[in-house]
Structures are given as C-alpha cells and as structure tokens.
Amino acid sequence: MRLPDPPVPGAPDGQWWPPVMLDPEWVRGNADAFDVFHLHFGFDDRSPQQLGALVAALRAAGRPLVLTVHDLRNPHHADPAAHAAALDVLVPSADALLTLTPGAAAEIAARWGRGAVVVPHPHVVEADRAARPRPGHDGFVVGVHAKADRANSDAPAVVRALAPVVAAIPGGRVEVVVRDDGPGRELASGLRDLPAVDVRPGPRLTDDQLWDHLSGLDLSVLPYRFGTHSGWLEACHDLGTAVLAPDCGFYDQQAPCLIYHRGPSGPDAASLAAGVHEAHRRGAGPRTTVEERAAQRCAVAAAHAAIYREVLG
C-alpha cells in the first residue's frame, strides 16, 4: 500500500508544493505508518542540509530509503550545482537505488560508486486512451512543445532549424504549441514568419488535450539542451508518435526513438534534418501495445517489491 500525499496547509489546489513527507518531523511522527521511504521527485527546494536531516530521521526511525534517480541533471535548473549537491546526499545514503536506463546506471556507478537497478518507465497514457486508433490527417506534421518554462528547453532554436527542412517536404508543417501569456506571445511573434510553422498559443493542456495533440503528430521533436530521461517520450511511445530526441541524455535507451546531435551552441542542423527525413521515410512511429504495457507494469511492480523485500531484510 502506498500512503497518500499529506495535504499541504495553504497550498493552492492543483499547484505543486514541496511534499510534507520530506520533513523530518513528518517522518518522526509517522514512522509507524510506513515500512519503506521511496523518493522519486519533489526535493528541488531542499538544501543538502535539509536532505541530510531527512536521511538522519529515517535512520533513527529504522526506515530504509529507496531512491529512483530519474534526473541526473534537473531540467528545471540552468545551474546543475543544486541538484548535484542534493544527489551527493541522497545517492550515497540510499539503501537501494533504481534508475531507468543502463546509461544512467553507468553514470551513477562512475560518480558515486553505487550500483542501481535498471527498471523501465511504465506507461504514461492510460490503457483505454492508448488503445484508440490514431486519427488520420493530411501531410507530415512535426510537433515542438514550447509551453514549459524549463531551463533545458531550446524550442526557438530547434523550430528555426526544423522550419526549412519540414517546408521542403510535401505537406510538411511544424506545429508549435506555446502559452498564451506574455512570454508565450513573445515566443510566438519570433516564430510566426518561419516557413511551414503553425504557432498555436493557448492555456495549459489537460491530459486528454495533450494526448490528442500528440496523436495528431507524425513526429515529436524534444527541444532539450540537457536532460536524462523523458516522460514525454513515454507518452509518445504509448500513442504511436515517433520521437526525435537530442543526444544529451539516455532517451534512445529508454524507448525507441531517433536521435539528433546537440552541440554546445545549439541543435546540429544536419543531424536534425536527417532525423526528420528518416521519420518521414519510416511513417508511423513505434508503439507499444496495451498488453505489452500491462505486462511491463507487472514486471515493474515485481521489481519494486523485490527491492523493498531486500532493504527490509
């Protein structure tokens, strides 16, 4: 059984807030309610000292810490130092480590001398939605999502590099989703005059709207400067949308995708173009079946159960 997240006093509905469970006082007051403390995300605002206090509280309570390392570099931080310092506390302290790809596990071993169990990311899209047939459309549609305020997003440079390549493909267009606020309008104004670029401003998409958007693309291009893994990639894999990802992370180990080179000054135009043309040649992207995802989810659950038994033993 997984404990529900405790409510955060004063936190607005639907807005992320630092989890109460990361407070050592919560650990001390609730140690009898849980057996294993499994941490994935949510520690962005915690200092190394605060995370050290959390680890100390878990040790005092006799409760093991399991850590899944999703991000070796935080996509929200322009400066990697804070996240690296957090991992320098958590990774050596964890009783067991998991991660999503062999490449990430190798980096964990190189940086901290720790072994991590590789457990794949499960499905993102629910089964009933993932089972729907892909809608038909004319032409070749390439999507770049520019709504997130992430430090690792380099959407304008990626769209500028894509525009002439996609414009040369019969029926090709680049669909760019941007926010409808001030920064979004500024971004949109800089991209509207590019050939074959369709800029679509709007509010944050619901999950269903996002799945509809991704299903309407032939290719989704991840515009990342840096990163490790991607839930977006998993959603595309659920829906049968091909992905072109940068070579700065371990995306191609996570799920089948095309790769372009990310240089120090931006996306490499030649490899980006090669990826677009290869996606156009291949047609439909790789897609896991609902049955495959169900089997994978069972395997992921079994792997977690085995790790929990190990750290409790």
Residue 86, pLDDT > 80, answer yes
Asked if residues 87 and 55 have their Cβ atoms less than 8 Å apart, the reply is no
Q: Is the pLDDT of residue 141 over 70?
A: yes
Indicate the pLDDT class of residue 122, thresholds 50, 70 and 90. very high
N- to C-terminal Cα separation, the chain = 18
Determine how many CB atoms are found less than 10 A away from the CB of residue 287.
16
In the chain, the number of structural domains is 2
Domain that holds residue 229: 127-282
- DSSP for 35-64 reads S-EEE-S--TT--HHHHHHHHHHHHHHT--
Residues 132 and 266 in one domain: yes
More confident residue, 10 or 60: 60
**290: confidence class by pLDDT, cuts 50, 70, 90:** very high
Q: For residue 25, give every residue at least 6 positions away whose Cβ sits within 8 Å of its Cβ, in sequence order, or none.
A: none
pLDDT in tens, 89-115: 999 999 999 999 999 999 999 999 999
Q: Is position 293 within any domain?
A: no
**114/47 same-domain check:** yes
Structure confidence at residue 204 as a pLDDT band (50, 70, 90): confident
Q: Does 6 map to a domain?
A: no
Do 230 and 213 belong together in one domain?
yes
Paired with 176 in beta bridges are 144, 199
Are residue 80 and residue 202 in the same domain, yes or no? no
Q: pLDDT tens digits, residue range 40-77? A: 999 999 999 999 999 999 999 999 999 999 999 999 99
Of the candidates 124, 145, 130, 131, which has an alpha carbon nearest to the alpha carbon of residue 213?
Answer: 145
Write the DSSP symbol of residue 217. -
Look at residue 272 and tell me if it is in a domain.
yes
As a whole number of angstroms, the distance between CA 313 and CA 308 comes to 8
196 in the same domain as 273: yes
Are 140 and 113 found together in one domain?
A: no
Q: Residue 100 maps to which CATH number?
A: 3.40.50.2000
Arithmetic mean of pLDDT, 31-47: 96
pLDDT higher than threshold 70 for residue 306: yes
76-83: average pLDDT:
96
pLDDT tens per residue across span 212-228: 999 999 999 999 999 99
Q: Are 142 and 163 in contact (CB under 8 A)?
A: no
Same domain, 95 and 145: no
- If asked whether residues 78 and 188 sit together in one domain, one would say no
Q: Is residue 148 very low, low, confident or very high in pLDDT (cuts 50, 70, 90)?
A: low
**278 or 205: whose pLDDT is higher?**
278
d(CA 77, CA 153): 11
pLDDT at 4: 84
**Residue indicated by tokens 């962005």:** 44
The secondary structure of 93-105, three-state, reads: HCCEEEECCHHHH
Nearest to 91 by CA among 130, 43, 149, 132: 43
- Confirm whether 25 is domain-assigned: yes
Q: DSSP labels for 115-163?
A: --EE-----SS-HHHHTSPPPP-SSEEEEEE-----TTB-HHHHHHHHH
The DSSP letter of residue 285 is P
- Cβ 178 vs Cβ 120: under 8 Å: no
Alpha carbon separation from 119 to 100, 138, 175, 244, 312 (Å, rounded): 5, 38, 33, 23, 19
Question: Regarding predicted confidence, which is higher, 165 or 7?
Answer: 165
Reported as a pLDDT band with limits 50, 70 and 90, residue 14 is low
One domain, residues 200 and 101: no
- Per-residue model confidence (pLDDT) at position 18: 81
More confident residue, 168 or 187: 168
Amino acid at 55: V
Determine the average pLDDT of the residues in 162-169: 98
Q: Which two tokens stand for residue 133?
A: 């047939």
Q: Are residues 82 and 62 in the same domain?
A: yes
* Beta strands 266-267 and 262-263, pairing class: antiparallel
Q: What is the C-alpha R_g of the chain?
A: 21
| 57 and 163 fall within a common domain | no
Q: Is the same domain home to 173 and 241?
A: yes
Indicate whether 229 pLDDT > 80: yes
Measure Cα distances from 271 to 165, 213, 224, 282 in Å.
11, 25, 15, 16
Judge contact between 107 and 72, C-beta under 8 A: yes
Query: What rounded mean pLDDT belongs to the chain?
Result: 94
Whether residue 134 is predicted with pLDDT greater than 90 in this model: the reply is yes
* Predicted pLDDT at 57: 98
Q: Is the pLDDT of residue 194 over 90?
A: yes
Q: Output the pLDDT for position 181.
A: 79
Higher pLDDT, 248 or 183: 248
Helices 155-167 and 269-282 cross at an angle (nearest 10°) of 60
Q: 79 or 284: whose pLDDT is higher?
A: 79
Of 92, 123, 154, the last residue of a domain is 123
In the predicted structure, residue 277 carries a pLDDT above the cut 70: yes
